[in-house]
Structure 1
Amino acid sequence: MAIVSQKVSDLSGKQGDDKQFAAVVVRQHPEIDQPKALDVLVPELKQFPDIGADLVILEISMPNGSKQDVYVSLEEFNKAAPNMSEVLKNARGTRGRLPGTRVGNGNG
Protein backbone atom coordinates (compact mmCIF):
# COMPACT_ATOMS: atom_id res chain seq x y z
CA MET A 1 0.00 0.00 0.00
CA ALA A 2 1.23 3.53 -0.82
CA ILE A 3 0.27 6.84 0.64
CA VAL A 4 -0.37 9.57 -1.90
CA SER A 5 -0.66 13.14 -0.79
CA GLN A 6 -2.43 15.70 -2.91
CA LYS A 7 -2.21 19.43 -2.27
CA VAL A 8 -5.48 21.37 -2.25
CA SER A 9 -5.95 25.08 -2.92
CA ASP A 10 -7.08 27.02 0.13
CA LEU A 11 -9.13 29.25 -2.20
CA SER A 12 -10.94 26.83 -4.47
CA GLY A 13 -10.41 23.38 -3.00
CA LYS A 14 -8.98 22.18 -6.34
CA GLN A 15 -6.25 19.55 -6.20
CA GLY A 16 -2.82 19.68 -7.82
CA ASP A 17 0.78 18.72 -7.31
CA ASP A 18 3.42 20.87 -5.62
CA LYS A 19 4.65 22.35 -8.91
CA GLN A 20 1.23 23.92 -9.55
CA PHE A 21 1.08 25.88 -6.28
CA ALA A 22 2.36 29.20 -5.03
CA ALA A 23 2.69 30.02 -1.36
CA VAL A 24 0.89 33.24 -0.40
CA VAL A 25 1.59 34.81 2.99
CA VAL A 26 -1.06 37.20 4.29
CA ARG A 27 1.01 39.54 6.45
CA GLN A 28 -1.72 41.94 7.52
CA HIS A 29 -5.49 41.64 7.53
CA PRO A 30 -8.08 43.01 9.95
CA GLU A 31 -9.16 39.50 10.98
CA ILE A 32 -5.75 38.02 11.86
CA ASP A 33 -3.16 38.84 14.51
CA GLN A 34 -0.23 37.02 12.88
CA PRO A 35 0.81 36.15 9.30
CA LYS A 36 -1.03 33.23 7.69
CA ALA A 37 0.08 31.02 4.77
CA LEU A 38 -2.20 29.94 1.94
CA ASP A 39 -1.60 27.33 -0.76
CA VAL A 40 -2.88 28.80 -4.02
CA LEU A 41 -2.88 27.37 -7.54
CA VAL A 42 -0.81 29.61 -9.82
CA PRO A 43 -3.77 30.52 -12.11
CA GLU A 44 -5.70 31.68 -9.02
CA LEU A 45 -3.08 34.38 -8.35
CA LYS A 46 -4.72 36.61 -10.97
CA GLN A 47 -7.41 37.32 -8.34
CA PHE A 48 -4.79 39.43 -6.52
CA PRO A 49 -3.87 42.22 -8.95
CA ASP A 50 -0.65 43.97 -8.00
CA ILE A 51 -1.12 47.66 -7.27
CA GLY A 52 2.50 48.00 -6.16
CA ALA A 53 3.47 50.45 -8.90
CA ASP A 54 1.17 53.09 -7.40
CA LEU A 55 1.49 52.07 -3.76
CA VAL A 56 3.51 53.79 -1.05
CA ILE A 57 4.13 51.80 2.14
CA LEU A 58 4.79 53.86 5.26
CA GLU A 59 6.03 52.61 8.63
CA ILE A 60 4.79 54.97 11.31
CA SER A 61 6.47 54.95 14.75
CA MET A 62 4.38 56.66 17.41
CA PRO A 63 5.84 58.46 20.45
CA ASN A 64 4.64 55.63 22.70
CA GLY A 65 6.78 53.14 20.74
CA SER A 66 3.98 51.46 18.78
CA LYS A 67 4.46 50.94 15.05
CA GLN A 68 1.97 50.68 12.22
CA ASP A 69 2.31 50.04 8.50
CA VAL A 70 0.15 52.29 6.35
CA TYR A 71 -0.54 51.73 2.65
CA VAL A 72 -1.30 54.85 0.63
CA SER A 73 -1.80 55.43 -3.08
CA LEU A 74 0.99 57.40 -4.71
CA GLU A 75 -1.53 60.09 -5.64
CA GLU A 76 -2.63 60.56 -2.00
CA PHE A 77 0.96 60.46 -0.72
CA ASN A 78 1.99 63.20 -3.14
CA LYS A 79 -0.81 65.45 -1.84
CA ALA A 80 0.82 65.59 1.62
CA ALA A 81 3.18 68.37 0.49
CA PRO A 82 3.15 70.58 -2.60
CA ASN A 83 6.70 69.46 -3.46
CA MET A 84 6.63 65.87 -2.18
CA SER A 85 9.28 64.67 -4.65
CA GLU A 86 11.72 67.26 -3.30
CA VAL A 87 10.76 66.51 0.33
CA LEU A 88 11.41 62.81 -0.23
CA LYS A 89 14.66 63.42 -2.09
CA ASN A 90 16.01 65.56 0.79
CA ALA A 91 14.78 63.31 3.62
CA ARG A 92 17.37 61.58 5.78
CA GLY A 93 18.08 57.91 5.20
CA THR A 94 17.23 55.22 7.73
CA ARG A 95 20.73 53.74 7.79
CA GLY A 96 23.93 55.22 9.11
CA ARG A 97 24.52 58.49 10.93
CA LEU A 98 22.28 61.50 10.73
CA PRO A 99 23.60 64.24 8.42
CA GLY A 100 25.85 66.65 10.34
CA THR A 101 26.82 64.19 13.09
CA ARG A 102 30.43 63.24 13.75
CA VAL A 103 32.07 60.10 15.02
CA GLY A 104 33.85 60.51 18.35
CA ASN A 105 33.26 61.07 22.01
CA GLY A 106 33.34 64.86 21.89
CA ASN A 107 36.79 65.12 23.53
CA GLY A 108 38.77 65.82 20.47
Structure 2
Amino acid sequence: MGYKSIRTSDISGEVLADDKVITVVVRSEGKLFDAAAEELTGLKRLTNVVEVELRHADGTSEEFIVNKSDFDKVVTAEVLANADSIRGRRNGFTPKAP
Protein backbone atom coordinates (compact mmCIF):
# COMPACT_ATOMS: atom_id res chain seq x y z
CA MET A 1 0.00 0.00 0.00
CA GLY A 2 1.24 3.53 -0.75
CA TYR A 3 0.50 6.91 0.73
CA LYS A 4 -0.27 10.12 -1.09
CA SER A 5 0.60 13.47 0.41
CA ILE A 6 -1.74 16.35 -0.41
CA ARG A 7 -0.40 19.89 0.07
CA THR A 8 -2.82 22.58 1.14
CA SER A 9 -2.53 26.30 1.68
CA ASP A 10 -2.32 27.28 5.32
CA ILE A 11 -4.05 30.55 4.39
CA SER A 12 -7.09 29.29 2.47
CA GLY A 13 -7.05 25.53 3.00
CA GLU A 14 -7.16 25.03 -0.79
CA VAL A 15 -5.39 21.99 -2.25
CA LEU A 16 -2.17 23.03 -4.04
CA ALA A 17 -0.30 21.21 -6.78
CA ASP A 18 3.22 20.34 -5.61
CA ASP A 19 4.78 22.72 -8.16
CA LYS A 20 2.58 25.62 -6.95
CA VAL A 21 3.45 25.46 -3.24
CA ILE A 22 5.38 28.42 -1.85
CA THR A 23 6.85 28.03 1.63
CA VAL A 24 6.72 31.38 3.42
CA VAL A 25 9.33 31.92 6.15
CA VAL A 26 8.48 34.63 8.71
CA ARG A 27 11.92 35.16 10.23
CA SER A 28 10.84 37.58 12.95
CA GLU A 29 8.38 35.00 14.30
CA GLY A 30 10.47 31.89 13.61
CA LYS A 31 7.54 30.37 11.71
CA LEU A 32 6.84 29.00 8.24
CA PHE A 33 3.73 28.04 6.31
CA ASP A 34 2.60 27.04 2.83
CA ALA A 35 0.62 29.22 0.43
CA ALA A 36 -0.07 29.83 -3.26
CA ALA A 37 1.46 32.76 -5.14
CA GLU A 38 -1.98 34.29 -5.72
CA GLU A 39 -2.61 34.42 -1.98
CA LEU A 40 0.54 36.47 -1.42
CA THR A 41 -0.11 39.23 -3.97
CA GLY A 42 -1.26 41.57 -1.18
CA LEU A 43 2.25 41.55 0.32
CA LYS A 44 3.91 44.63 -1.14
CA ARG A 45 7.69 44.50 -1.35
CA LEU A 46 9.72 47.35 0.08
CA THR A 47 12.55 48.68 -2.05
CA ASN A 48 15.67 50.62 -1.15
CA VAL A 49 15.95 49.02 2.26
CA VAL A 50 18.78 47.25 4.07
CA GLU A 51 18.24 44.32 6.43
CA VAL A 52 20.51 44.65 9.47
CA GLU A 53 21.33 42.29 12.34
CA LEU A 54 23.11 43.63 15.41
CA ARG A 55 25.00 41.01 17.45
CA HIS A 56 25.66 42.34 20.93
CA ALA A 57 28.56 41.36 23.20
CA ASP A 58 26.14 39.78 25.69
CA GLY A 59 25.04 37.25 23.05
CA THR A 60 21.73 38.88 22.18
CA SER A 61 20.89 40.02 18.68
CA GLU A 62 18.27 42.11 16.97
CA GLU A 63 17.18 42.38 13.36
CA PHE A 64 15.58 45.36 11.67
CA ILE A 65 15.12 47.02 8.31
CA VAL A 66 16.34 50.55 7.56
CA ASN A 67 15.98 52.90 4.63
CA LYS A 68 18.99 52.54 2.31
CA SER A 69 19.70 56.27 2.25
CA ASP A 70 19.80 56.37 6.07
CA PHE A 71 22.11 53.34 6.09
CA ASP A 72 24.41 54.96 3.53
CA LYS A 73 24.75 58.05 5.74
CA VAL A 74 26.21 55.89 8.53
CA VAL A 75 28.00 53.08 6.65
CA THR A 76 30.04 54.08 3.60
CA ALA A 77 30.44 51.99 0.46
CA GLU A 78 34.14 51.66 1.34
CA VAL A 79 33.31 50.09 4.72
CA LEU A 80 31.06 47.53 3.00
CA ALA A 81 33.65 46.81 0.29
CA ASN A 82 36.25 45.98 2.96
CA ALA A 83 33.87 44.09 5.27
CA ASP A 84 34.06 40.34 5.83
CA SER A 85 31.49 38.10 4.16
CA ILE A 86 28.96 36.44 6.45
CA ARG A 87 29.93 33.20 4.74
CA GLY A 88 33.38 31.71 4.81
CA ARG A 89 36.66 33.05 6.15
CA ARG A 90 37.37 36.55 7.39
CA ASN A 91 39.27 38.87 5.03
CA GLY A 92 43.03 38.33 5.19
CA PHE A 93 42.81 34.99 7.02
CA THR A 94 44.97 32.19 5.67
CA PRO A 95 44.98 28.83 7.43
CA LYS A 96 48.44 27.59 8.28
CA ALA A 97 49.45 24.10 7.31
CA PRO A 98 50.33 21.84 10.28
Query: Which one-letter code corresponds to 1:43 in the other structure?
Result: E
* 2:77 counterpart (85, 88, 93): 88
* 1:45 counterpart (40, 45, 65): 40
Gaps of 5+ in 2: 85-89, 94-98
* 2:52 counterpart (58, 72, 77): 58
Query: Which one-letter code corresponds to 1:40 in the other structure?
Result: A
TM-score in terms of structure 1 length: 0.60
3-state SS of 2:41 partner = helix
* Partner residue in 2 for 1:104: none
* Partner residue in 1 for 2:10: 10
Q: Are residues 97 and 69 of structure 1, via their aligned partners in 2, closer, same or farther at CA, if it must alter by over 3 Å?
A: farther
In 1: Cα distance, 2:2 partner to 2:55 partner: 54
Q: For each residue in 1:57-80, what CA deviation from the matched residue of structure 2 results, as whole angstroms up to 9, or x when unmatched?
A: 112122323222221122443455
3-state SS of 1:47 partner = coil
* Partner residue in 2 for 1:71: 65
In 1: Cα distance, 2:18 partner to 2:25 partner: 16
Q: Which has the larger radius of gyration?
A: 1
Equivalenced residue count is: 88
* Percent of paired sites with the same residue: 25
Gaps of 5+ in 1: 30-34, 99-108
CA RMSD of aligned residues (A): 3.0
Q: Are residues 27 and 90 of structure 1, via their aligned partners in 2, closer, same or farther at CA, if it must alter by over 3 Å?
A: closer
Query: Which one-letter code corresponds to 1:48 in the other structure?
Result: L
TM-score in terms of structure 2 length: 0.65
3-state SS of 1:89 partner = helix
